[in-house]
Structure formats: structure tokens, C-alpha cells
Amino acid sequence: MLFTRAGIKTQKNAPHDADSKNAELLVKGGFIKREMAGVYSYLPLGLKVLQKIKIIIREEMGNVDACEVLMPALTPLENWKKTGRDQVDIAYKPNEKTVLGWSHEEMVTPLAKEFLTSWKDLPLSLFQIQTKFRDEARAKSGILRGREFIMKDMYSFHQSQEGLDTYYERVKEAYFRVFQRCGLIAYSIEASGGEFSNDISHEFAVITNAGEDTMVFCKQCGWAQNTEISTQKGGKKCPHCAETLDEKKCVEVGNIFKLGKKYTEAFDVQVPNAEGTRETPVMGCYGIGVTRLMGTIVEAFHDENGICWPLPVAPYTVVIIPIGRKEEFETSLLEAKKLEKTLSEKGIDVLVDDRDESPGKKFGDADLLGFPIRVVISPKTLEKGEGEWKIRTEKESKNILLEKVGEEVLKIL
């Protein structure tokens, strides 16, 4: 893809109203545009990151046998009356009969009812990747806490508590894989269920300075608690493995809940068991803030020059920067396009910075936009059929034969 056709426009200065590192860098880099407090547009580069995160999530939800659906944002108020959540103050109500979905238990439960005609239909797990609306009193921290945001929400239905317990652990593992594949180290923290449940729930937290919460955790065994409810603190010994505990700010990127029968009872979901007796399924729910995850990745991976995207979620894996004056630039650009073609054929996402801009501006933008690998092609490197290879997060660069670039990229992908 050519830079001039990719719909990228970086800004010289950080936005004056950025309230966080992710807002600053994503707006400056032209990944997102702030439209209102807590409401953002996603521009071509930002959308590419989102798509890559979604692919990872879809694969991992498939791995726990969940089926994808898409429920509406317009939901009937009467459904929310059945569960007593019709007066929740974060709910937008576009008219007197309708609520904009801020969570979808009230929709998925009656939906599941249609699937569940026999105990053989259990367990059932449905997920969606969908836009949620929450009238947050204080939208803040860029795309970490928005009024409109993309969420992956999943809901599972089981014949027994044991079935739910087993599935809950499978989803927990899938969640760790999602965050790991996004480059993040997440800790699972036992938490209270809030609006959702009086039962067990877990949050998944990633260490970053932008965090609203603080957790005490053990790097050794993964034990973690929110400091608000923990009797432990940093410096003490881990209650599980006796390693010294750490304490850091963190962002919640996902949460999972055992919901019990609250919703299946409210919507009168009953499924005949093998003996023909009608039983009420138990339910779990599992959320990941997709746009929040994107913001968290930026909080976790940036330096003074810009974003440092982890390979699996980078909008482009490689940026090729041709430089030179006049005819020499044309030669560099030609070689850049040849290299792009070779790499694309290997399935590598490549951007060629074909702009008529100074090398300094191109290098600066490459750092700001955070492409993991940069290859500079200049008249000088071309003399030996080479380009200059640099990893975004490393200081040193090296020259490399252009014909070896593909091989080298695949080694670290």
C-alpha cells in the first residue's frame, strides 16, 4: 500500500485536549479523531489495528466453541424492566420504549431461548463484536473509557454449575491468549460483579501508568488482587509462592462473570433435561473492550517518539522509506515498490512512504505511527542492492540485502 493512498494524515502537534498518552499519540498519528467527549472516529490506520485485534478475538472465541451473532443497539425497554436494569443511569434512551444497548444480557437471553429446545442444545455460547453505548458521567483517557465503544461480549448457557465452572476456566485461558497475542501481559484479578452479578467474577488487568486501578501482583505465579480489596501490598511475600509482590497501576481490559440464573429466570428460560424435567440453565458472561484494548496497547507500547505496535496488531508490519533527490528518489521508489510486491506475496503487510517529503519527516512519522520494521532505501544502500533495516524498538540499524528482507521479516513474525 502506498502512503499517499492509505488515508493517513499525521499532525504536527499533539491535540491540545488529549487527556492520555493513547489519545495524544492516536490522534497525532491520525489513527482516530475525537468527535465528542468519549466518542471517536476510527481512521484507516486505526481501523486496521481494530481489524487485527478482532481477528485474534474471533479465532480465540472460536476455540472455545462460541458462535458469532450480531444483536441490535436498539433494544426494547420492556426487556430491561424484566431484570430491573431499566433505570441504570448510563443507559441512553432514544425514545420512551427503547434503550441503546450498554450490555446485552437482556437481548441474548431471550435469543438463546430460541436455540434451547433440548438439553442437547446445551452448552451454548454466543458472542458478538458490537458497538456499545454508555452515558458515562466522565468519559476519559482517550479510547480507554468512551461513551461509544466496540466490545466483544460473549454469553454462555449451561445445564449445571459444574458445566459453567469448566467453561469459565476455558474462557479464562482463551482471554490470556487474546491478550498475549496482542503483546500484553495480563493478570486475572478476582473481583466483585458490579451491576452484573453477586457471584464470582474476574477482571483482566494490564500494567500501565494510565490505569485507574492499582493491583498488587506476583510476577512469579500470576497471583493478583486489586489493592482496594487486598490485604496484601507491594514488598510483602506472595501468599501463593512467597515471591516478593509488586504494586502497579493497571487498566482493566476484560472481565468475566458467573451470572447464575438471574437472567435465565427473568426470561423464563427452561430446558428439558434427559428425563424430561424442565431446568433453568446457568449463565456466564465474558467481555473484552476492543477499542479499549487498542488504547491499552498504546499505553503499554510507546516511547518519546511515538507508538511501538506489537507485530500482530500493527497496522502495517513493515514501512519502506525510499529517499533521494529527484531521479534518485524515483529509483529508490521503484525498488521500494518491487520490495513491497515481494513482501506482499509472502503475506506481509507493507506500507511504502511514497510521499514527496524530507527523510526527516518520513522517519519521524514512521516512529510516530509505530510500524515494527523500517527499511530505508537510498541511492547509497542501493549501490550494494541493500536497504537499511531497523526494528522500531531497537536503537541500532543494519544494512541488509533487499532480497533477504522477506526472510528476515518472516523470522520474527
Distance CA 364, CA 29 (A): 11
The nearest distance, CB 63 to its own copies, in angstroms, is 12
Tell me, residue by residue from 104 to 143, as one string, x for binding to its own copies by CB under 8 A and - for no binding. Answer: ---x---x--xx-x---x--x-x----x-x-x--------
Residue 75 in the binding site for its own copies (CB under 8 A): yes
Cβ-based nearer residue to its own copies, 74 or 412 = 74
Contact code string over 76-95 relative to its own copies, x by CB under 8 A: x---------------xxxx
The CA angle 54-75-137, to the nearest 5 degrees, is 75
235: Cβ contacts below 8 Å, ≥ 6 apart? 244, 245, 247
In sequence order, the 6+-apart residues with CB closer than 8 A to the CB of 229 are 191, 192
- Single out the residue of 70, 87, 274, 396 in contact with its own copies (rule: CB under 8 A): 70
Cis peptide before 123 (omega within 30 of 0): yes
Question: Rule CB under 8 A: is residue 263 a binding residue for its own copies?
Answer: no
Please tell me the distance from the alpha carbon of residue 215 to that of residue 228, in angstroms, as a whole number. Answer: 8
The rounded distance, in Å, linking the Cα atoms of 10 and 371 is 14
Is the distance from CB of 25 to CB of 32 less than 8 angstroms? no
**Shortest Å, Cβ 383 to its own copies:** 31
What cell was used for 295? 488504547
Angle of helix 327-345 relative to helix 405-412, nearest 10 degrees?
Answer: 50
Q: For its own copies, which stretch binds (CB under 8 A), given 38-46, 173-181, 276-284, 318-326?
A: 38-46
From residue 139 to residue 168, the character string flagging contacts with its own copies as x (rule: CB under 8 A) and all else as - is: --------xx--------------------
**Count of residues near its own copies by CB under 8 A:** 47
- For helices 44-63 and 290-300, the axis angle rounded to 10 degrees is 110
Cell of 368: 510516530
Nearer to its own copies by Cβ, of 115 and 198: the residue is 115
CB of 94 to its own copies, least distance (A): 4
CA dihedral angle for residue 133, residue 135, residue 138, residue 143, rounded to 10 degrees = 10
- Out of 83, 98, 214, 342, which residue is the one contacting its own copies (CB under 8 A)? 98
Smallest gap, in angstroms, from Cβ of residue 235 to its own copies? 44
Q: How far is CA 212 from CA 27, 104, 139, 207, in A?
A: 21, 25, 13, 11
Minimum distance, C-beta of residue 102 to its own copies, in the bound complex (Å): 11
Residue 413: name the closest of 352, 336, 321, 348 by CA: 348
Residue 341 is a binding residue for its own copies (CB under 8 A): no
Which residues are CB-contacts of 327 (< 8 A; sequence separation ≥ 6)?
Answer: none
Pick the closer one to its own copies by CB: 364 or 379.
Answer: 364
Residue whose CB is less far from its own copies, 41 or 393: 41
Question: To the nearest whole angstrom, how small is the minimum distance from the Cβ of residue 144 to its own copies?
Answer: 16
- Please identify which residue in 17, 55, 59, 65 interacts with its own copies, judged by CB under 8 A: 65
CB of 272 to its own copies, least distance (A): 16
Question: Which residues, 6 or more positions from 239, have their beta carbon under 8 angstroms from its beta carbon?
Answer: 223, 232
Does position 39 bind its own copies by CB under 8 A? yes
311 contacts its own copies (rule: CB under 8 A): no
Number of CB atoms found within 10 A of residue 213's CB: 16
Instruction: List binders of its own copies among 1-30 (CB under 8 A).
Output: 5-7, 9, 11, 30
Give the binding site for its own copies (CB under 8 A).
5-7, 9, 11, 30, 33, 35-36, 39-44, 47, 50, 65, 67-76, 92-95, 98, 100, 107, 111, 114-115, 117, 121, 124, 126, 131, 133, 135, 147-148
